[in-house]
Amino acid sequence: MDTADTAAGASAPHPLVSVAELERSLRGDRPPRLLDVRWRLDRPDGRPAHREGHLPGAVYVDLGSELAAHGLAATDGRHPVPTPDELEQSAQGWGLREGEPVVVYDDLGGQSAARAWWLLRAAGLADVRLLDGGLAAWTAAGLPVETGDVRPEPGDVVLGSGRLPTVDADGAAAFPTHGTLVDSRAAERYRGEVEPVDPRAGHVPGAVSVPTAGNLDASGLFLDADALRARYEEAGVRPGEPVAVYCGSGVTAAHAAVALTVAGYDPVLFPGSWSAWSSDPDRPVATGAEPG
281 is catalytic: no
For residues 59 and 95, the answer to whether their CB atoms sit within 8 Å is: yes
Q: Which of 247, 257, 262, 263 is catalytic?
A: 247
Distances in Å between the Cα of 88 and the Cα atoms of 93, 95, 98, 251 are 8, 11, 11, 19
Show contacts of 172-177: CB within 8 Å, 24+ apart. Answer: 172/204, 172/244, 172/246, 172/270, 172/277, 173/204, 173/205, 173/283, 175/206, 175/242, 175/244, 175/268, 176/205, 176/206, 176/207, 176/291, 177/206
**What phi-psi label fits residue 236: left (phi over 0), alpha (psi between -120 and 50 degrees) or beta?**
left
Q: What angle do CA 72, 252, 83 make, to 5 degrees?
A: 35
Point out the residues that are catalytic.
247
